[in-house]
Amino acid sequence: MTRGDKGQAGAAVNILILGGGGREHALAWAIKQNPKTDRLIVAPGNAGIAMLAEVADLDVLDSTAVVAFCAENAVDFVIVGPEAPLAAGVADATRAAGILTFGPSAQAARLEASKAFTKEICDACKAPTAAYARFTSAAPARAYIHAQGAPIVVKADGLAAGKGVIVALTEAEALAAIDDMFGGEFGAAGAEVVIEEFMAGEEASFFILTDGVTALPFGTAQDHKRVGDGDTGPNTGGMGAYSPAPVLSQAIQDQAMAEIVLPTIAEMARRGRPYQGVLYAGLMIQDGKARLVEYNARFGDPEAQVLMMRLGAQALDVLLACAEGRLDQAQVNWADDHALTVVMAAKGYPAAYAKGSEIKGLDRLPEDSRHMAFHAGTLEKDGRILANGGRVLNITARGDTLAEARNRAYAMMDLLDWPEGFCRSDIGWRAL
Ligand code: AMP
Ligand code: GLY
């Protein structure tokens, strides 16, 4: 058999997932349930992932090392979790080596890696998004801010680990952001700056799988970016999420597909940069219409945790179909259910926090198709689980209603014994 027909033939597949956070734990958990999965390796993984898959110490940004690892371990299928290896061209390298790969090329992943590129694509395909201007020096950027007034949004063009967007409520804040960006605070990511119209409305995440031609809606979610209850305090990578997102009605999904997603996929193909993988569209919904906030070239974290909780084993079949270019034959069967995840973070996050505290009580938590404690930043040492990151655990549950999922997740939280951690107590409030 050739590598191109793995999923179709139903043969056993050796899988390598790149990444080591809660997103990758959730992907591994869902994929492990599929009988097609033979070997499942996650690099670098974490303590939770190590309980269900092999973990490997591999530099996931080193294309040569990843390709060599695949050859040594007879890997048939590579799934790239985070954006950094995509931007580094790892998916290009594995595909060039003949290994089936889920994830866009570096050229296609520019949709996440460059905000200015995304704006250019939106212009070309007339996708609704915030009005904007691009700058490579401070003086004209400052003049533009004076002319437009606040609120206004200032963005470093490149990847800045989620910190490169300043939603400025005053002109002074926007000007300070310009000084920071052109002052080098974001390194090369801030060499170009995009200044955008502030969009009011409700934000939600729409996930679409595409093989470059066919696009398959792959679920909706909403996350909570602020660290504190009531959506207060500084921005984080996400303190919790739930799926589905009620604000993304079928009508709005249809509009977003027709006006934003399909035109983007067609424009990428037209430019010779076909996009293959998951396209994560951050949307702002106001007055029954969606506009694009941003694209990501990967699953959201922690949005993937709630999507995988709902999808289970079928996730692998659809990811394989996507990588093999036969999404036109694939389908997703959604149950009429809800999932919710609460992030446990180390005290201090998103600012400085300590590593190494012990997390107790994990063995008391139920683990089944309705309850999972996904690990985001953990490490096992002498049989103990230690915190090893800012976001540490994703306590995830499923239910017939969102309230049921929420109650299950918080009931699990009560069984945890980790005084050095904290979580928000109101995940899902907007939808409940
Ligand atoms: P990003 O890194 O592009 O996800 O931006 C971070 C967050 O900033 C988004 O999730 C939005 O909440 C907010 N944001 C970005 N662009 C805009 C905009 N044009 N108007 C309002 N909020 C925005
Ligand atoms: N939770 C937001 C993200 O993954 O970008």
pLDDT, one tens digit per residue, over 312-367 is: 999 999 999 999 999 999 999 999 999 999 999 999 999 999 999 999 999 999 99
Model confidence at 192: pLDDT above 80: yes
Is residue 89 located within the same domain as residue 140? no
Helix (H, G, I), strand (E, B) or coil at 306: helix
Domain presence at residue 124: no
> How much is the pLDDT for 1?
35
Q: What is the band of 10 on the pLDDT scale with cuts at 50, 70, 90? A: low
6 has a pLDDT exceeding 80: no
- What are the pocket residues of ligand 2 if the criterion is a CB atom closer than 6 Å to any ligand atom? 223, 237-238, 296, 300-301, 303
- What value does the mean pLDDT take over residues 371-397? 97
State residue 190's pLDDT score. Answer: 76
Comparing C-alpha atoms, which of 420, 235, 367 is closest to residue 375?
A: 367
Report how far ligand 2's centroid is from the alpha carbon of 299 (Å).
8
- The model's confidence at residue 4, banded by pLDDT at 50, 70 and 90, is very low
Contact 164, 156 (CB under 8 A): yes
* Whether residue 67 is found in the same domain as residue 162: no
* 276 and 316 housed in the same domain: yes
pLDDT at 293 over 80: yes
In short, whether 167's Cβ falls inside 6 Å of ligand 1 is yes
203 pocket-lining for ligand 1 (C-beta < 6 Å): yes
List the strands of the sheet with 165-168, edge to edge.
Answer: 132-135, 193-197, 152-156, 165-168
Is 263 within the bounds of a domain? yes
Is the domain of 156 the same as that of 179? Answer: yes
Residue that is written with structure tokens 């590129």 in the block: 117
Q: Are residues 248 and 262 in the same domain?
A: yes
Half-sphere exposure of 10 (CA within 13 A, CB side): 1
- Whether the per-residue pLDDT at 370 is higher than 60: the answer is yes
Q: How confident is the model at residue 395 (pLDDT cuts 50, 70, 90)?
A: very high
Q: What is the mean pLDDT of residues 45-65?
A: 98
How much of the chain is in helix, strand and coil states, percent to nearest 5? 35, 30, 35
CATH code: domain of residue 352: 3.90.600.10
Task: Please state which of the ranges 9-13, 55-59, 351-355 shows the lowest mean pLDDT.
Answer: 9-13
pLDDT of residue 238: 95
Most confident of 32-36, 140-144, 157-161: 32-36
Q: Could you tell me if 240 and 320 lie in one domain? A: yes
The domain that contains 269 carries what CATH number?
Answer: 3.30.470.20
**Ligand nearest to the CA of residue 189, numbered in listed order:** 1
Give the end of a domain, one of 181, 197, 213: 197
Do 191 and 234 lie in a common domain? Answer: no
Bridge partners, 289 (sequence order): 286
Residue 229 has pLDDT above 90, yes or no: yes
> Are residues 310 and 220 located together in one domain of the fold?
yes
Q: In the prediction, which pLDDT does 189 show?
A: 80
- In this prediction, residue 7 has a pLDDT band, given cuts at 50, 70 and 90, of very low
Percent of the residues in the chain that have a pLDDT greater than 70, as a whole number: 97
Q: How do 77-80 and 13-19 pair as beta strands?
A: parallel
Dist CA 253 CA 257 (whole Å): 6
- To the nearest 10 degrees (0 to 180), the angle between helices 115-125 and 262-270 is 100
Give the rounded percent of residues in the chain with a pLDDT score beyond 90: 90
Say if CB 145 and CB 195 are below 8 A apart: yes
Span from the CA of 33 to the centroid of ligand 1 (angstroms): 35
d(CA 335, CA 242): 15
Structural domain span for residue 403: 338-422
pLDDT of 178 higher than 60: yes
Q: Tell me, yes or no, whether 217 and 325 share the same domain.
A: yes
Does any domain span residue 212?
A: yes
Is 122 inside any structural domain? no
- Residue 37 inside a domain? The answer is yes
- Residue 118 in any domain: the answer is no
> Residue 210: is its pLDDT beyond 90?
yes
Q: 220-226 contacts: CB < 8 A, separation 24 or more?
A: 220/244, 220/245, 220/248, 220/253, 221/245, 221/300, 221/303, 221/306, 221/307, 222/247, 222/430, 222/431, 223/300, 223/302, 223/303, 224/424, 224/427
- Is it the case that residue 2 has pLDDT exceeding 60? no
The CATH code of the domain that includes 167 is 3.30.1490.20
CATH at 37: 3.40.50.20
Give how many domains the chain has, as a whole number. 4
- With respect to residue 224, please indicate whether it lies within any of the assigned structural domains: yes
Ligand 1 centroid–CA 153 distance in Å is: 8
Say whether both 206 and 180 belong to one domain. no
Among 104, 119, 152, the domain boundary falls at 104
Q: 95-112, pLDDT tens digit by residue?
A: 999 999 999 999 999 999
The answer to the question of residue 140 being in a domain is yes
Average pLDDT value over all residues in the chain: 95
Residue 188: band (very low, low, confident or very high) from pLDDT cuts 50, 70, 90: confident
Q: Which of 329, 357, 375 is the last residue of a domain?
A: 329
For residue 223, which ligand has an atom nearest its CA?
2
Whether 311 and 403 map to the same domain: the answer is: no
| Same domain for 414 and 298 | no
User: 396 with 212: CB under 8 angstroms?
Assistant: no
- With 80 as the cut, is the pLDDT of residue 9 above it? no
Taking the centre of ligand 1 as the mean of its atom positions, its distance from the CA of residue 224, in whole angstroms, is 12
- Ligand 2: which residue has its CA nearest to atom 4? 300
